[in-house]
Amino acid sequence: MFRISTRIVVGCLWALVLTGGLGVARLAAQAPPDGAVIALTGVRIIDGIGKPAVERGTILVSNGRITAAGASVPVPAGATRIDLAGKTVMPGMINAHAHVQNQTKTMPMRDDLVRRLRLYASYGVTTAVSLGQVDTAEQMEVVRLRDEQDRGALDRARVYTSGPSIRGLKTVEEARQTVDRYVDQKVDRIKTHVTPQMTPDQYAALIDQAHTRGMRVAAHIFTLDEAKMVLERNVDLIAHSVRDRDVDQALIDTLKRRDVGYIPTLTRDLSLVVYQSTPAFFKEPFFQRGMAVYGEQVKVLSDPGRQAKFRQDPQTKVIEKALEQGTRNLKLLSDAGVTIAMGTDSGTDEGRWPGYFEQVEMEMMVKAGLTPMQAIVSATGAAARVSKLDHVGTIAPGKAADLLVLDANPLQDIRNLRQINSVWIGGRRLGTTGTN
């Protein structure tokens, strides 16, 4: 826990309300008073851009934002000083390809969405970019949650949405109209699935219309040819790995020239191969912290009949190969200097665990050959940049104080990302996450 010395009265700021179920401690509704300054001192700072970590640094937070950060930042008189000696602070993680979906029908939609956003936050993911909603009602609820987050104190991850992923359209006009409809419904971006059912002309119209309306477009792809097809039509984000063969220089050149982000979603493919038997991680306490949300699906995936189906499905072998190929391409693209953004596809179908799988994704990226620093940048500064979320993702003056405080240094071992001391969103501490 923190050692806190308070020189000014900050009301009941530090009063924690323990919520049941998720094992997530939350702050009372009261935010720090306007103008109050919090100084996090003595801490290792990982900025999210990739600069060497600052040792024994100071971060000043006021009105939900970072006002200063660095090795020699003076603490102003009257600040609330929090000694974080020995700890590491990095920006809260951004999942550039999440799905904030209502998967539980036994509770009101909004409650389910909010608990999923809280779950993300409890695992250190403070922003979820939802690339695909199930339907309009769900999309509208997510849009409402997004609008609310700029108005008040937050006890959950921020959310942004693309509306449903666009696919299966018949004409160029329909492509433009569909984009218009989603933009009119106030989505933040457009997502599309590349499939043989739609023509390149239709994708061109879709992307052009989105750009005309000021929206970026993320594309679901599987093959190198699909990635190239949408890149030639000016897509802004590649939302999955290229998984059929090695990426080539032409793809690398285009991604770099147009500064297009590439989101590997390795755990998406993991979720299609790992449930042939009961995975060991089901037993991990760190995984089980999410059981209030995960429980139903864990039961389904633990069923021997279901596991046999995975083993017998020829598609499982295909995806095993695809995952290997995607892992290899991640390293090739990262080495070539392409911007990698962390994303998981979590929150959709069975076995894609919001929160836990972002942690696993980070571990898989490092296993693929990225350094821990590269993985961290992909989940913070780079994810923010390619998602055009300028207010989050880095520790710098003016940015939202969305912070992940760790008890151990993730640059030494990426699994230290699991050593979560606390998570902050907009300058408010959500509380220790080890309270289950």
Site string for Zn ion, 376-415 (x = CB under 5 A): ----------------------------------------
Using the minimum distance from each CB to Zn ion, give the nearer residue, 58 or 344. 344
Rounded distance, CA 127 to CA 93, Å? 7
CB of 188 to Zn ion, least distance (A): 15
Size of the site for Zn ion (CB under 5 A): 2
Using the minimum distance from each CB to Zn ion, give the nearer residue, 218 or 231. 218
CB of 99 to Zn ion, least distance (A): 6
Using the minimum distance from each CB to Zn ion, give the nearer residue, 132 or 264. 132
Residue whose pair of structure tokens reads 């350094």 in the numeric block? 371
What would the 3-class secondary structure string for the chain be? CCEEECCCCCCCCCCEEECCCCCCEEECCCCCCCCCEEEEEEEEECCCCCCCCEEEEEEEEECCEEEEEECCCCCCCCCEEEECCCCEEEECEEEEEECCCCCCCCCCHHHHHHHHHHHHHHCCEEEEEECCCCCHHHHHHHHHHHHHHCCCCCCCCEEEECCCCECCCCCHHHHHHHHHHHHHCCCCCEEEECCCCCCHHHHHHHHHHHHHCCCCEEEECCCHHHHHHHHHCCCCEECCCCCCCCCCHHHHHHHHHCCCEECCCHHHHHHHHHHHCCCHHHHCHHHHCCHHHHHHHHHHHHCHHHHHHHHHCHHHHHHHHHHHHHHHHHHHHHHCCCCECCCCCECCCCCCCCCHHHHHHHHHHHHCCCCHHHHHHHCCHHHHHHCCCCCCCCCCCCCECCEEEECCCCCCCHHHHHCEEEEEECCEECCCCCCC
Strand-strand pairing, 88-91 and 37-45 = parallel
Using the minimum distance from each CB to Zn ion, give the nearer residue, 132 or 381. 132
CB of 357 to Zn ion, least distance (A): 12
Using the minimum distance from each CB to Zn ion, give the nearer residue, 132 or 354. 132
CB of 364 to Zn ion, least distance (A): 17
Part of the chain binding Zn ion (CB under 5 A), chosen from 131-139, 223-231, 333-341, 406-414: 131-139
Part of the chain binding Zn ion (CB under 5 A), chosen from 65-73, 125-133, 198-206, 242-250: 125-133
Provide φ and ψ at 22, rounded to 5°. Answer: -75, -15
CB of 45 to Zn ion, least distance (A): 32
Nearest residue relative to Zn ion (C-beta):
345
Part of the chain binding Zn ion (CB under 5 A), chosen from 74-82, 124-132, 144-152, 254-262: 124-132
Using the minimum distance from each CB to Zn ion, give the nearer residue, 175 or 239. 239
* 217-220 sheet: strands from edge to edge: 190-193, 217-220, 237-238, 261-262
Using the minimum distance from each CB to Zn ion, give the nearer residue, 176 or 193. 193
Site string for Zn ion, 81-120 (x = CB under 5 A): ----------------------------------------
Part of the chain binding Zn ion (CB under 5 A), chosen from 114-122, 250-258, 344-352, 420-428: 344-352
CB of 50 to Zn ion, least distance (A): 26
Which residues sit opposite 422 in a β-bridge?
405
Part of the chain binding Zn ion (CB under 5 A), chosen from 3-11, 54-62, 127-135, 318-326: 127-135
CB of 348 to Zn ion, least distance (A): 6
Q: Which of 345, 358, 361, 402 binds Zn ion (CB under 5 A)?
A: 345
Residue 1 near residue 432 (C-beta atoms within 8 A): yes
Determine if 269 is a binding residue for Zn ion (CB under 5 A).
Answer: no
Using the minimum distance from each CB to Zn ion, give the nearer residue, 236 or 345. 345
Part of the chain binding Zn ion (CB under 5 A), chosen from 62-70, 129-137, 145-153, 335-343: 129-137
Rounded distance, CA 338 to CA 262, Å? 7
Part of the chain binding Zn ion (CB under 5 A), chosen from 61-69, 196-204, 338-346, 395-403: 338-346
Strand-strand pairing, 65-70 and 54-62 = antiparallel
Using the minimum distance from each CB to Zn ion, give the nearer residue, 345 or 361. 345
Using the minimum distance from each CB to Zn ion, give the nearer residue, 67 or 378. 378
For the segment 222-261, give every residue that binds Zn ion (CB under 5 A). none
Residue 196 Cα to chain centre, angstroms = 29
Using the minimum distance from each CB to Zn ion, give the nearer residue, 61 or 98. 98
List residues binding Zn ion (CB under 5 A).
132, 345
